[in-house]
């Protein structure tokens, strides 16, 4: 097996969806599933971020009149979308596309150049849209890069890297809820400020001032995030069943 990582880097003004992520670098999108068979593609994507970013992304992503993958925002493929779950800081969207051979974006040419049996994972944050592709032997990756590069404008940078061994496939448990945006943002701010360093480089109050939330709110969000991380670790890595009652002391 071979794993290739295609990274698309957008200039501002090239794509309205990319602009939302550029304007809101704390927003993240990742594919829960992305499948291509023949000329058809279907995928599930989860978006998380501040409320105004989610509102903007929902309006753009759910618009069947535009292609969410094309560098120019339009192609002749058929598209339908459905909003499966939403709250102020997250959304899960189902997309079905037919006739993707008419689309210059990565999925169809990947299946043409790399052959059947592909797995895709995607992640968007800031100006980057990262596609990870797991393939059986990797033959044709150079031709795929040249194909995509020729069809994308110069305002979208494209890089290709090959990992020596496939990594992290299957690490994410799709049945578990991801860390809510407010808790993720609090955790990232605390890490960036050195709150978890040894010795600590900032206090809880200083982190709260930096992100402009009350100290009690930040403390609550960090506690929830730490509980989520501990639960994910024990259930995912150690195989602990959360339904097993604790032993009495």
Confidence of residue 131 (pLDDT cuts 50, 70, 90): very high
Chain segment 199-216, per-residue pLDDT in tens: 999 999 999 998 888 988
CA 204 – CA 182 distance, rounded (Å): 16
* Max intra-chain CA distance, the chain: 67
Say what the pLDDT of residue 239 is: 54
Residue 190, H or E segment: helix 181-192
Q: Average pLDDT, stretch 147-163?
A: 88
Confidence of residue 231 (pLDDT cuts 50, 70, 90): confident
CA 243 – CA 120 distance, rounded (Å): 33
Beta bridge mates, 13? none
Q: Reduced to 3 states, what is the DSSP secondary structure of residue 124?
A: strand
Say what the pLDDT of residue 20 is: 96
CA 233 – CA 231 distance, rounded (Å): 5
Q: Average pLDDT, stretch 70-81?
A: 84
Say what the pLDDT of residue 176 is: 41
Say what the pLDDT of residue 168 is: 65
CB atoms under 10 Å from CB of 1, counted, come to: 12
- The alpha carbon of 206 is separated from its chain's Cα centroid by a whole number of angstroms, namely 30
Say what the pLDDT of residue 166 is: 65
Peptide bond into 199 cis (omega under 30): yes
Q: Reduced to 3 states, what is the DSSP secondary structure of residue 14?
A: coil
Which pTM was predicted? 0.74
Say what the pLDDT of residue 213 is: 86
Please say whether the beta carbons of 54 and 47 come within 8 A: yes
pLDDT at 171 over 60: no
Q: Reduced to 3 states, what is the DSSP secondary structure of residue 172?
A: coil
CA 146 – CA 167 distance, rounded (Å): 25
Beta bridge mates, 128? 9, 125
Q: Average pLDDT, stretch 129-144?
A: 88
Chain segment 9-40, per-residue pLDDT in tens: 999 999 999 999 999 998 999 998 899 998 99
């Amino acid at each position: 097996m071979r794993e290739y990582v295609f990274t698309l880097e957008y200039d501002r003004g090239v794509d309205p969806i990319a602009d939302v992520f550029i304007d809101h670098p704390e927003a993240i999108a990742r594919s829960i599933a992305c499948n291509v068979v023949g000329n058809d593609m279907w995928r599930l994507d989860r978006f998380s971020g501040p409320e105004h970013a989610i509102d903007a992304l929902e309006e753009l992503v759910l618009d069947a009149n535009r292609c969410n993958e094309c560098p120019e925002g339009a192609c002749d493929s058929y598209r339908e979308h459905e909003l499966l779950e939403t709250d102020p800081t997250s959304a899960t969207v189902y997309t079905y596309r037919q006739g993707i051979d008419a689309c210059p974006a990565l999925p169809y040419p990947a299946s043409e150049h790399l052959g059947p049996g592909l797995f895709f994972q995607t992640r968007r944050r800031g100006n980057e849209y990262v596609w990870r592709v797991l393939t059986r032997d990797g033959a044709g990756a150079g031709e795929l890069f040249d194909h995509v590069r020729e069809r994308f404008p110069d305002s979208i940078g494209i890089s290709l890297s090959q990992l020596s061994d496939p990594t992290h496939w299957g690490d994410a448990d799709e049945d578990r809820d991801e860390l809510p945006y407010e808790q993720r943002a609090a955790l990232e701010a605390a890490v960036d400020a050195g709150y978890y360093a040894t010795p600590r480089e900032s206090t809880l109050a200083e982190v709260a001032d930096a992100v402009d939330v009350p100290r009690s709110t930040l403390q609550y969000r960090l506690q929830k995030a730490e509980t989520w991380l501990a639960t994910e670790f024990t259930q995912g890595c150690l195989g602990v069943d959360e339904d097993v009652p604790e032993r009495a002391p």
